[in-house]
């Protein structure tokens, strides 16, 4: 289509809307001098004839309106008055007017310049002449759910947004390229030489590796060159780009593609071409270290936190400038506390001084460096699992329970009556203050202790050692009961000695009595049933973290023996086994952990001999009922947790956790609130959803305003880190020997 044809189409529309007087002195006309080709087609502005011909400023329509004539179909759309806004179809007199319902992800992206792709339009609603909705709706069968809703990593900038939109089919290759030339990329730069290493530029292929953000830079790099893609395309010999856009996106773009797009749609914004340092390498940190050393009386200042930043970046995180400064402060404090003279007490506020509590073998809190949930100080690569996912799952479990404890077992109408129509929207007091952990998290910690104390880890070929595991589980439950007031002599290990765990929370006397009888094999208590069987799934999965670290029957045997002491019925054990297998996938050390709507189906395997029988038919039905599918065209049917079962049975709790989380993995606060605002076992549903969420995001991806209020957050992280280390290839057993056995005795 040529410009003249586009101008004619807009002229016809103006006459259709405004009548024959449109060309009169008070009418409207296309501003032909400002017609431009844009990615969506042609931009055809118009204004009053009095302004265009007579220059009368008081007659100008401002901001100047414009109609977009799409190519190749010639559809007319009213351009948005502000940059980045979306165009909308124009209305013709006497014709039905259907308003587009565009996916909010696309609306918020600010990519209006690229147009509105059909695949991002969820449907249409009919409106009358005044613009009011009539109630008629049409669904778009070509619609595809956006990448954020699908659970892809949430983009941090426009470049990552473009790549993720293209990956789900929202953008054509041409539109992707048009968007790319308006973005900047980061290229590693040696801080001493100011040059880019040959590793990132292959001269023989004229290939340059670039990155979407400093967070995605290789961990060893601390300097960068930031340049816009259009500038690279204008080089005498434009490079072929390999764009690293995060854990799921690597995009190859040839120099020919870039040069062609820049020629057709040149960038008019200022060039970007600057060098810089990552937060951990900023020169101000040296001054902070020197000033801190002088104030504390240290003989030498600590070094900039390059090593800490490298550990964090290997796990997908970047230390902020504030965290780097705190790391310098924390390392200075640790150095000061190790000095013999004069004695110095630890600071009252550990976190403000870059420190966090860890727990020694006597259960006492001692200061360590705060790693902000972004890296493990011992920096183990992990044989199978990622430390950040393991600790995220544990802290997420505790956070979900703390959020749901205030409304646990309450009918939804009572929740609304007490907290309003939206239900709980924040951490509220469940015991004496917000954020208190409950008995579910207490049990999780002691189940984890049982897994660590099992002698099978150091005797991997011994069936005799495996046979001791149920007794070890009973011992762990007895130590938990000891914290709840039950008598127990010679309670060993460090966990039972933590004073803050000796808090009676939500377990009632009858439940405690049943646990006591089953844990001690005393009396004739009947076996327990219900969703508490799901609690051991997480520690059971951790037994499989390293080579030869699990039981001979794998995670299935581990969870059945952990849960089977109190919950031996087959439906409960099958559900716990399923959740354990799900955690095995979710805790991966890979850069990306797939969302629940994907994993929940992947775990189901018709060829698995252990997934046969009526219990597994019910599990498959639960997944179908609870989990939408985002991998096809059309609107996904997001599920409401309240509608999944009764909220009390094991499968209902699991299904409600899935329903709360599926499609909301990138909206952690909303996902957790969905997991607790329903009738039934809100605390346990929140805990399961929180664990699955934390496994994907790590601690930094959980709502920080709630994490900061979570009681014993560092204790929970400590236990999770111990389990991760114990079952990893480079086990704590081999590193610490008797010291570790003192911490976790073999019984």
pTM: 0.95
Q: Where are the beta strands (DSSP E) in 18-96?
A: 28-30, 36-38, 41-48, 66-70, 76-78, 88-89
Say what the pLDDT of residue 342 is. Answer: 67
**Structure letter (DSSP) for residue 152:** P
Tokens 């909010």 belong to 104
Q: Is the pLDDT of residue 52 over 90?
A: no
Q: Is the pLDDT of residue 343 over 70?
A: no
Q: Is the pLDDT of residue 522 over 80?
A: no
Average pLDDT over residues 124-132: 87
d(CA 737, CA 728): 15
Q: Is the pLDDT of residue 461 over 70?
A: no
Question: What is the fold of 387-743?
Answer: ADP-ribosylglycohydrolase fold (1.10.4080)
Backbone angles phi, psi at 622, to 5 degrees: -60, -45
- For the stretch 705-744, pLDDT in tens is 999 999 999 999 999 999 999 999 999 988 999 999 999 9
Q: Among 244-258, 511-525, 652-666, where is mean pLDDT lowest?
A: 511-525
**DSSP for 429-476?**
-SSSSTT---HHHHHHHHHHHHHHH-GGGT-TT-HHHHHTHHHHHHHH
- For the stretch 464-514, pLDDT in tens is 889 999 999 999 999 999 999 999 998 999 999 999 999 888 767 788 888
- Asked if residue 476 lies in contact with residue 453, where contact means CB atoms within 8 angstroms, the answer is yes
Domain assignments of the chain as residue spans, ordered by start: 3-138, 149-277, 283-356, 387-743
Whole-angstrom CA distances from 126 to 91, 100, 103, 399 are 12, 9, 17, 43
Closest by CA to 721, choosing from 375, 290, 464, is 375
Backbone angles phi, psi at 638, to 5 degrees: -65, 135
- For the stretch 374-401, pLDDT in tens is 999 999 999 999 999 999 999 999 999 9
Whole-angstrom CA distances from 243 to 153, 216, 221, 223, 251 are 16, 11, 17, 18, 5
Length of the chain (residues): 747
Alpha carbon of residue 90 to chain centroid: 39
Q: Is the bond into 566 cis (omega within 30 degrees of 0)?
A: no
């Amino acid at each position: 289509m040529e410009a003249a044809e586009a101008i004619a189409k807009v002229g016809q529309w103006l006459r259709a809307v405004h009548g024959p007087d449109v060309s009169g002195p008070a009418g409207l006309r296309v501003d032909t001098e400002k017609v431009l080709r844009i990615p969506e087609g042609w931009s055809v502005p118009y204004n009053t004839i009095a302004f265009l011909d007579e220059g009368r400023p008081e007659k100008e329509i401002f901001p100047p309106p414009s109609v977009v004539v799409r190519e190749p179909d010639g559809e007319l759309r009213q351009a948005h008055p502000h940059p980045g806004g979306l165009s909308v179809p124009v209305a013709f007199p006497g014709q039905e007017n259907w308003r587009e319902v565009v996916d909010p992800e696309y609306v918020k992206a600010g990519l209006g310049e690229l147009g509105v792709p059909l695949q991002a339009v969820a449907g249409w609603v009919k409106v009358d002449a005044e613009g009011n909705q009539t109630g008629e709706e049409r669904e778009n069968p070509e619609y595809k759910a956006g990448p954020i809703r699908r659970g892809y990593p949430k983009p941090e900038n426009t470049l990552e947004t473009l790549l993720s939109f293209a990956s789900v089919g929202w953008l054509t290759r041409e539109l992707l390229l048009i968007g790319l030339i308006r973005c900047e990329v980061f290229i590693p730069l040696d801080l001493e030489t100011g040059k880019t290493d040959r590793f990132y530029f292959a001269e023989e292929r004229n290939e340059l590796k670039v990155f979407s953000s400093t967070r995605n830079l290789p961990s060893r790099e601390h300097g960068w060159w930031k340049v816009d893609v259009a500038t690279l395309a204008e080089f005498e010999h434009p490079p072929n780009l390999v764009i690293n856009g995060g854990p799921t996106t690597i995009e190859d773009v040839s120099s020919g593609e870039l040069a062609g797009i820049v020629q057709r749609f040149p960038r008019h914004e200022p060039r970007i071409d600057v060098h810089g340092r990552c937060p951990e390498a900023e020169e101000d940190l040296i001054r902070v270290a020197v000033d801190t050393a002088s104030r504390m009386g240290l003989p030498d200042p600590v070094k900039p936190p390059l090593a800490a930043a490298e550990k964090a970046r290997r796990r997908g995180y970047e230390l902020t400038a504030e965290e780097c400064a705190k790391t310098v402060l924390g390392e200075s404090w640790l150095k000061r506390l190790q000095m013999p003279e004069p004695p110095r007490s630890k600071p009252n506020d550990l976190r403000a001084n870059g420190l966090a509590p860890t727990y020694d073998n006597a259960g006492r809190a001692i200061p360590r460096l705060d790693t902000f949930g972004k890296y493990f100080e011992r920096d183990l690569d992990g044989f199978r699992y990622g430390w950040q996912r393991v600790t995220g799952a544990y802290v997420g479990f505790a956070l979900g329970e703390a959020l749901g404890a205030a409304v646990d077992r309450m009918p939804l109408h009572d929740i609304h009556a007490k907290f309003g129509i939206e239900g709980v929207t924040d951490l509220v007091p469940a015991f004496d203050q917000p954020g208190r952990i409950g008995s579910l998290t207490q049990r999780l910690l002691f189940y984890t202790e049982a897994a660590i104390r099992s002698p099978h880890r150091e005797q991997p070929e011994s069936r005799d050692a495996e046979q001791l595991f149920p007794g070890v589980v009973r011992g762990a439950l007895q130590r938990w009961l000891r914290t709840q007031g039950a008598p127990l002599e010679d309670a060993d290990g460090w966990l039972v000695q933590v004073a803050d765990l000796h808090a009676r929370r939500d377990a009632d006397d009858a439940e405690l009595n049943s646990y006591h009888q089953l844990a001690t094999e005393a009396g004739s208590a009947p076996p327990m049933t219900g969703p508490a069987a799901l609690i051991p799934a997480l520690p059971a999965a951790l037994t499989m973290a390293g080579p030869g670290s699990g039981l001979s029957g794998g995670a299935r045997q581990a969870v059945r023996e952990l849960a089977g002491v109190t919950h031996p019925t087959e439906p409960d054990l099958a559900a716990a086994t399923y959740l354990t297998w799900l955690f095995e996938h979710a805790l991966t050390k890979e850069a990306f952990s797939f969302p629940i709507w994907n994993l929940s189906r992947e775990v189901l395997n018709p060829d698995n001999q252990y997934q046969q029988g009526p219990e597994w038919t019910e599990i498959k039905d639960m997944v179908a009922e609870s989990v939408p599918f985002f991998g096809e065209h059309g609107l996904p049917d997001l599920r409401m947790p309240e509608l999944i079962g009764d909220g009390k049975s094991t499968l209902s709790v699991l299904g409600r956790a899935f329903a709360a989380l599926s499609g909301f993995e990138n909206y952690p606060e909303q996902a957790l609130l969905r997991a607790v605002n329903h009738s039934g076992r809100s605390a346990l549903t929140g805990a399961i959803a929180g664990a699955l969420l934390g496994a994907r995001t790590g601690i930094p991806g959980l709502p920080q305003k709630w994490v900061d209020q979570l009681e014993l957050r560092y204790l929970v992280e400590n236990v999770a880190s111990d389990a991760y280390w114990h079952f990893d290839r480079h086990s704590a057993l081999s590193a610490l020997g008797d010291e570790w056995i003192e911490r976790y005795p073999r019984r």
